[in-house]
Structure 1
Amino acid sequence: MNPILTALVPVFGVIFVGWLLRRSHLLPEASWGPISRLAYLGLSPALLFSSISHADLSDIQLGTFMAAAMLGFLGMAALTLAIKPFLKIPDPTFTSLFQATSRWNGLLILALGISLFGDEGEILVALIMVASIPLVNMECVAVLAVWGDGAAPKWNSILYRILTNPLILGSAAGGIVNLGNIPLPDMLGLTIDLLGQAALPLILLSVGAGLNFTAMKARPRLLGLSVFIKLMIGPLVFYGIGRALGIEGVPLTILLLTGASPGAASAYVLAQQMGGDAPYSAGDITASALFCFITIPFWLAVLG
């Protein structure tokens, strides 16, 4: 079988199982929210800690790689702002379009990175997540502050929430342990590793359970535009920046996957909180997750 499909089918298969589990009502509907929070905020920090604390960073052009990733996110933000004058849509809806094209599902790409490239893929995606969480959140909050229908944000509160994000804390702790060569007791290290191993299956099941095809009825034409920008233009932006900076091999493919990622569920939450178009965000999350099953294999086959 094609090695790309060999790596991707198990990941997408678990997502499909999550969708089937929710459709079957094997678990109570109300249980999926706590499962998702456990996976993202309870177990994922352990996964990021493990991957970063054990990482050998000596073979990675860290500065150039991280610069390419951050320029990719900034480039997508700039592209979306540039097309705003041509879109005849309400300002709150534009904020959700901005989130659709600017956010990424880092934990899904982490699962793909591990499936495709093992430890190297895990480390590279984890590093991008550390830097992108503050950047992307600040971008989206700023756009919602200008064009959303909600009250003006309290920036000190926003900054506090970002800095205390469990994913950031887990990554930072892993970096301190790695760079400081701090030894961990074997029992503690194995416990954290075991928690981290439980994260990815629950994350993928939660992605599948969160698919809401009814939500795709909200603004279907605009939905098509945001999905096209995210899944077809985004990979080219990240890949092009990586090539321009001389990045090759697995790091370049990880940049490609970052640009090809579907949207993140956090876009819906922020749209609700700050006056964006929440129904449109919900539709985009499902649509981008659905179509990435096609576009990610396509881009890996063409450019990966």
Structure 2
Amino acid sequence: MTHIAAALLPVFGIIFIGWLLRRSHLLPDASWGPISRLAYLGLSPAILFTSIARADLSEIQLGPFMAAAMLGFIAMAVITLAIKPALKIPGPTYTSLFQATCRWNGLLILALAIALYGTEGEVLVALVMAASIPLVNMECVAVLSVWGDGAKPDWRSVAYRIATNPLILGSGLGAIVNLAGIGIPEPIWDAVDMLGKAALPLILLAVGAGLNFTAMRARPRLLGLSVFLKLMIAPMVFYGLGLAFGLSGVPLMVLLLTGASPGAASAYVLAKQLGGDAPYAAGDITAAALFSFITIPFWLAVLG
């Protein structure tokens, strides 16, 4: 437990500092959007590239691990669809609940995995991120196209945005370099590595700055349901699938962290764009992030 606390406290501490910085108005509120965009889309591809480009993939049970991870995202989508008839809520609100249970904050989990498991954890989370971005986005857009009250999505545009997502491009380029054995000059490698290392602190600060306690007043009972599904049911689903595929050690713990992750801010953006319940999405992002400070250490202590 001491090891877990020592690894998690710096990560959660930086998130708290981000919240304090936002509250202190040291930076204008309008600056946090560009900071978050820089961290996620400008710098994060570098850390995914470096993680995958020099990884020793031969030592990873890649097939079972990736199968368990992708089935975990599919299983959470199926569970959330299964409970829809019992929920007496408007369609747009349901789409935001779906996003709350099916999305994950991969970059937050990347920071935690590095703190807990070093290079192996970093590589595994990077691989899950690369594979899950298309899957989760297609799931969420499909649900919004059915129950959202906005304009129906242009699937060609959706596919193009996914294919050109900087995180996927960074991951894909890293995989090409790895599999083809392409050598990269050390000065270039060092520059890209420095960019990647700059991403995680900014991401964590942006997570803290994005906490919006006022938004949690929107549909508090439904927030309780979505947070319970995401932070209590999803970890068991991912962990159970890992066991079913014969995984153990760090890969199994990374699956647990993947399931235990709070949702991502992109749920709010997509809800606004495609007619979801944006206020509820904003409340869920904050509530899940706050409760994950308790549930992630709980799951690691119980199952780790």
Report the TM-score range of the alignment, normalised by the length of the smaller protein. Answer: over 0.9
Q: Show CA shifts across 1:223-275 (max 9, x none).
A: 00000000000000000000011000000000000000001000000000000
Q: Show CA shifts across 1:153-198 (max 9, x none).
A: 1100000000000000000000000000000111111100000000
Rounded to whole Å, the distance in 2 between the matches of 1:237 and 1:186 is 42
RMSD: 0.6
Unaligned runs of 5+ in 2: none
Please state whether the residue corresponding to 2:83 is helix, strand or coil: helix
- 1:152 CA displacement: 1.1
- 1:218 CA displacement: 0.2
Letter in 2 for 1:165: N
Rounded to whole Å, the distance in 2 between the matches of 1:185 and 1:241 is 40
The match for 1:250 is 250
Give the 5 Å matches for 1:13-162: 13-162=13-162
Letter in 2 for 1:253: M
Give the 5 Å matches for 1:205-220: 205-220=205-220
Rounded to whole Å, the distance in 2 between the matches of 1:186 and 1:125 is 25
Q: Show CA shifts across 1:1-37 (max 9, x none).
A: 7100000000000000000000000111111000000
Rounded to whole Å, the distance in 2 between the matches of 1:295 and 1:20 is 22
Query: Normalized against structure 1, the TM-score is what?
Result: 0.99
Rounded to whole Å, the distance in 1 between the matches of 2:10 and 2:115 is 8
Moved over 4 A (4+): none
The match for 2:166 is 166
- 1:151 CA displacement: 1.1
Rounded to whole Å, the distance in 1 between the matches of 2:263 and 2:196 is 23
Unaligned runs of 5+ in 1: none
- 1:61 CA displacement: 0.6
- 1:130 CA displacement: 0.4
The match for 1:228 is 228
The match for 1:285 is 285
The count of corresponding residues between Structure 1 and Structure 2 is 304
Rounded to whole Å, the distance in 1 between the matches of 2:264 and 2:190 is 30
- 1:73 CA displacement: 0.2
Please state whether the residue corresponding to 1:58 is helix, strand or coil: helix
